[in-house]
Amino acid sequence: SQTIHQWPATLVQPVGSPLSLECTVEGTSNPNLYWYRQAAGRGLQLLFYSVGIGQISSEVPQNLSASRPQDRQFILSSKKLLLSDSGFYLCASTGGKGYNEQFFGPGTRLTVL
């Protein structure tokens, strides 16, 4: 099975500051990668997904961007954080096509003040 690493685990940032969250995957190659955001007590909102290096699909217009510089590395970024960017960010991976199960990382709790 796969192992998903995310860091940092928690982050407190001021409004207007930049953001970089990193996700790396072990145990598979050429995975589909996903960034989700979860508001408190809610389900998951898909933000971005990637089917290969340099290929990013955005699901919702927002203040965030994503990049995939290497096969098993997925980065979530922002140039200027907003209060509304606060939340729990989860990275996920599937091996092969989307009809397989997703493996999730431990998440990053972001608080924007």
* Residue of 24, 78, 93, 102 interacting with another protein (CB under 8 A): 102
**Which of helix, strand or coil describes residue 83?**
helix
* Residue of 11, 13, 51, 62 interacting with another protein (CB under 8 A): 51
Does the footprint of another protein cover residue 92 (CB under 8 A)?
A: yes
Does the footprint of another protein cover residue 99 (CB under 8 A)?
A: yes
DSSP assignment, residue 100? S
Which tokens is 109 given? 């709790």
Handedness of CA 99, 103, 109, 110 (dihedral sign): negative
Does the footprint of another protein cover residue 107 (CB under 8 A)?
A: yes
Rounding to the nearest 10 degrees, give the CA dihedral for residues 87, 78, 67, 29: -30
Does the footprint of another protein cover residue 42 (CB under 8 A)?
A: yes
Amino acid at 50: S
**Which of helix, strand or coil describes residue 17?**
coil
Does the footprint of another protein cover residue 106 (CB under 8 A)?
A: yes
Binding site for another protein (CB under 8 A): 4, 32, 34, 36, 41-44, 46, 49, 51, 59, 88, 90, 92, 94, 97-107, 109
